[in-house]
């Protein structure tokens, strides 16, 4: 899917739903299809547009849609018109069976302990508890963003103090910017695999992974181990650059798929943020003998096989 960054595909009720950032950073879009491949040409609906000025009238980044507690929820990051980089996370709620025609309303800002740069929220249920994982700049830590985890009390409030799961410190996490962002959870074989993206959003962008036992205390940062090297990175051979901000989905045949964005070229003119050609891509996930995911390398453009 061309020019759709920060992608997410959700499978729910016999449909696949797709959302992602648009190059204009001005709206939230959603499309659906009966198959993953069908999303490519599915019509796109605008769920929400930023206001003309004031709060949330700046950059609109990385929406994610989830269905829980009998309603649809869109988590997205937004800046203000007078400071587009004053990025905070907000939540929309929609009622109705079809989110494309649901009645959407703004619940408000996602409340965290600090009023700082916050983005890339994802939510999942684990052992009967709904959690939220997100990226945020924490006062006193000189990074652009770290990853945090907490149980949810309401869609936009926490039920407990957050756990700081990881801080970008390794060489491949701090190229250009010190970043851990875009978390996504893959649960399989009694393990939790939490992927995230690191470094600047050019060809240096790559994916890391935290791993925990499903029966461990996932709110204890010591339960999570970090990959020492990227688990997914640029492929010069296949001409896919800066793969990241990934998600996971099980397709209509039962295959686990990796969903991510990447560019077709290395050299970018100007700020990578304003290069529109981060395209959504999907490819199957393979597994090693010990059950850990093997993402391989970004495959070349072509038909998914």
Task: Read off the DSSP letter of residue 120.
Answer: E
Contact 262, 245 (CB under 8 A): no
From 138, 173, 181, 202, the catalytic residue: 181
From 6, 64, 138, 202, the catalytic residue: 6
Contact 182, 135 (CB under 8 A): yes
Contact 17, 45 (CB under 8 A): no
* Catalytic site includes residue 6: yes
Contact 131, 149 (CB under 8 A): yes
Contact 61, 121 (CB under 8 A): no
Residue 20's closest CA among 87, 74, 89, 94? 74
Task: Give CA–CA dist 184/188, Å, rounded.
Answer: 13
Helical ranges in the chain per DSSP H: none
Task: Give CA–CA dist 73/300, Å, rounded.
Answer: 33
Task: Give CA–CA dist 144/256, Å, rounded.
Answer: 31
Placement of tokens 């851990």 in the chain? 180
The residues that are catalytic are 6, 181
């Amino acid at each position: 899917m061309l020019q759709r960054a920060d992608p997410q595909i959700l499978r729910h009720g016999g449909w696949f739903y797709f959302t992602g950032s648009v190059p204009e950073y001005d709206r939230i879009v959603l499309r659906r299809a009966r198959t993953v491949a069908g999303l490519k040409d599915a019509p796109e609906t605008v769920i929400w547009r930023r206001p003309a000025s004031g709060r949330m009238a700046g950059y609109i980044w990385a929406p994610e849609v989830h269905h829980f507690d009998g309603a649809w929820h869109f988590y997205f990051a937004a800046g203000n018109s007078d400071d587009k980089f004053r990025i905070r996370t907000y939540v929309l709620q929609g009622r109705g069976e079809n989110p494309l025609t649901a009645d959407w309303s703004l619940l408000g800002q996602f409340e965290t302990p600090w009023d700082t740069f916050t983005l890339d929220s994802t939510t999942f249920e684990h052992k009967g508890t709904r959690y939220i994982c997100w990226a945020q700049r924490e006062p006193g830590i000189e990074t652009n963003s770290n990853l945090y985890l907490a149980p949810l009390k309401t869609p936009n409030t926490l039920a407990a103090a957050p756990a700081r799961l990881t801080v970008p410190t390794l060489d491949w996490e701090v190229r250009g910017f010190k970043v851990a962002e875009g978390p996504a959870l893959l649960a399989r074989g009694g393990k939790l695999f939490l992927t995230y993206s690191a470094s600047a959003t050019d060809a240096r962008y790559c994916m890391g992974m935290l791993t925990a036992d499903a029966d461990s205390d996932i709110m204890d940062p010591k339960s999570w181990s970090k990959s020492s090297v990227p688990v997914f990175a640029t492929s010069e051979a296949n001409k896919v650059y800066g793969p990241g901000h990934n998600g996971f989905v099980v397709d209509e045949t039962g295959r686990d798929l990796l969903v991510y964005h990447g560019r077709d070229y290395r050299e970018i003119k100007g700020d990578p943020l304003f290069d529109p050609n981060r395209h959504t891509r999907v490819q199957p996930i393979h597994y090693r003998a010990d059950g850990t995911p093997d993402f391989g390398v970004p495959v070349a453009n072509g038909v998914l096989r």
